[in-house]
Amino acid sequence: MKRYAPAILLALALSLLVWLVVERYSGTGAASFGTFTSKNARVYFSPSGGCTEAVVNALAAAKTSIFVQAYSFTSAPIAKALVDAHKRGVKIQVILDKSNRTANYSSADFVAHAGIPTFIDDKHSIAHNKIILVDGHIVITGSFNFTKAAEEHNAENLLVIDDSALAERYIQNWEAHRQHSMPYEGR
């Protein structure tokens, strides 16, 4: 437990930070939250708060690796940014919830057909993680689903955290889910 104490404290501190921002601006509408930046984290709120743009920018800046876990994945700009990074030689792997196998539209097919290793986590009732890990030090997480609806209509939040120790813990968890996930070749 002591080994994970710094990551737990960071997560608690970031939760407090989000709560403080919400308390400060409650009742003013999500779009007015804008972006809040601290020493090593940025927070975004939707609708129309720049969450998709923040994800796309992080993917465009990736140099070595991107690991994705997503529940719902229909965002064309995020899928395109992943494929663009793949074409630049960035190592990318994607784990998605089993609902992406049968969804009317899922970016799972787009990324799988582009040659990005894509997996389905069907071990759980719902694989509800929403994370992107970039270059071993950026953690993108929050309630934000990687969808157009999340950007334009839903009340969501997105945290972009630059912390290697925290990213390592997320990568370990990502790998544990990858071990029991099944390859997805697309439809």
Catalytic residue numbers, as ranges:
128, 130, 135
The 3-state DSSP class for residue 18 equals helix
Q: Please provide residue 30's backbone torsions phi and psi, each rounded to the nearest 5 degrees.
A: -60, -40
Q: State how far the Cα of 138 lies from the Cα of 82, in Å rounded to an integer.
A: 15
Both structure tokens of 117: 């290793």
User: Is-cis flag, bond preceding 47, omega within 30?
Assistant: yes
Q: State how far the Cα of 142 lies from the Cα of 138, in Å rounded to an integer.
A: 13
List all residues 6 or more positions away from 20 whose beta carbon is below 8 Å from its beta carbon.
Answer: none
Provide the 10 A C-beta neighbour count for residue 145: 21
Question: Token pair 């040659």 is at which residue?
Answer: 115
